[in-house]
């Protein structure tokens, strides 16, 4: 192609590339991740307004409620600010919060390693637990741990969430798997402690927890694995969104 020729290929701006349809299994987490990517990559400048909710919902393929929840969460975390009036809207704050991997002493490679190992261990554990004939006591423990984490106080969430996940691993019936998952959870929790706890994410996690446990109790290995994979992916999206 000569220097004067016009390239016929359509050009995609960084904003258009980031505002593409998300995975519906983790619509909220993916929406937060896309907005954070726009912020962290400089696509949205300090003081600049977000596109309207209607446009964001259409581009991301999610409901306006999901967009609204994502904006509310990032506003609470200090990334966005809402202004009323004739020139109102949602704007990027002038000074961003300091949730970064560099400040936390974490590398992207460490995050990738931990979340990929978690996927291998916990998705497999959920599938294996569903394939076993669980005793009444094992079934009772899963229900009890699920009940503990649902609606618990935020200060107790990480501990009770971890306890439920370890109960699922124990139900897989492979004793040597338990310490591997416990060690991985300690690493994952250390990363998660560096980012805000989002109420909508907790509510979504509760729904996914229930889907995993119900599938295990029903003996549906593929459904249990799929639900756990979605759950793990949602956490990974938030970790990368806030810390990359």
- Residues present in the chain in total: 244
CA dist 104 and 219 (Å) reads 41
Task: For the chain, list the strands marked E by DSSP.
Answer: 80-83, 89-92
78-107 mean pLDDT? 77
pLDDT band at 28 (very low <50, low <70, confident <90, very high): very high
Tokens of 98: 């300091």
CA proximity to 37, closest of 64, 60, 61: 60
pLDDT tens by residue, 142-154: 999 999 999 899 8
Mean local confidence (pLDDT), 145-169: 94
Q: What is the DSSP letter of 19?
A: S
172 vs 15, more confident: 172
Query: 191-212: per-residue pLDDT in tens?
Result: 998 888 899 999 999 999 999 9
Chain-centre distance for alpha carbon 217: 25
Average pLDDT, rounded, for the chain: 88
Q: Taking 50 as the threshold, does the pLDDT of residue 1 lie above it?
A: no
Mean pLDDT of 172-201: 93
Residue pair 184/117 in contact (Cβ under 8 Å)? The answer is: yes
Q: Would the pLDDT of 4 be above 60?
A: no
Rounded CA-CA distance 87/168 in Å is 51
In this structure, the number of other CB atoms found within 10 A of the CB of residue 91 comes to 19
- pLDDT tens-digit readout, 34-50: 999 888 878 888 888 99
Strands 89-92 and 80-83: antiparallel
Could you give the domains of the chain? 14-92 (1.10.10.10), 101-243 (1.20.120.530)
Angle CA(106)–CA(111)–CA(117) in degrees, nearest 5?
Answer: 140
Least confident interval from 100-114, 148-162, 183-197? 100-114
User: Can you give the pTM of this predicted structure?
Assistant: 0.84
Q: Give Cβ neighbours of residue 20 (< 8 Å, ≥ 6 apart).
A: 59, 60
Mean pLDDT of 132-150: 96
Contacts of 218 (CB under 8 A, 6+ apart): 130
Average pLDDT for 229-239: 94
pLDDT reading at 2 higher than 80: no
Please tell me the distance from the alpha carbon of residue 22 to that of residue 31, in angstroms, as a whole number. 7
The pair of three-digit structure tokens given for residue 167, joined into one six-digit string: 């109960």
pLDDT at 20: 80
Average pLDDT score over residue span 97-120: 80
Is residue 100 over pLDDT 60?
no
Q: What is the DSSP string of 73-139?
A: HHHHTTSEEEE-STT-EEEE-SS-----HHHHT--HHHHHHHHHHHIIIIIHHHHHHHTS---HHHH
pLDDT score for 194: 86
């Amino acid at each position: 192609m000569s220097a004067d020729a016009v390239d016929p290929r359509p050009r995609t701006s960084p904003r258009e590339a980031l505002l593409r349809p998300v995975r519906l299994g983790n619509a909220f987490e993916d929406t937060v991740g896309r907005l954070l990517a726009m912020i962290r990559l400089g696509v949205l400048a300090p003081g600049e307004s977000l596109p309207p909710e209607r446009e964001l919902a259409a581009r991301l393929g999610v409901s306006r409620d999901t967009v609204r929840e994502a904006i509310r969460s990032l506003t609470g975390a200090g990334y966005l600010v809402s202004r009323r009036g004739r020139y109102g809207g949602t704007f990027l704050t002038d000074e961003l919060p300091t949730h970064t991997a560099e400040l936390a002493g974490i590398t992207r490679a460490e995050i990738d390693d931990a979340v990929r190992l978690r996927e291998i261990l916990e998705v497999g554990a959920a599938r294996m637990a569903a394939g076993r004939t669980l005793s009444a006591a094992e079934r009772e423990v899963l229900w009890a741990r699920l009940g503990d984490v649902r609606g618990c106080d935020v200060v107790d969430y990480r501990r009770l969430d971890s306890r439920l996940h370890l109960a699922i691993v124990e139900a897989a019936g492979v004793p040597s798997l338990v310490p591997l998952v416990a060690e991985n959870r300690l690493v994952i929790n250390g990363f998660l402690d560096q980012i805000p706890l989002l109420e909508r994410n907790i509510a979504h996690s509760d729904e996914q927890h229930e889907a995993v446990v119900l599938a295990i109790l029903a003996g549906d290995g593929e459904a249990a694995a799929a639900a756990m994979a979605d759950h793990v992916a949602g956490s990974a999206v938030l970790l990368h969104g806030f810390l990359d």
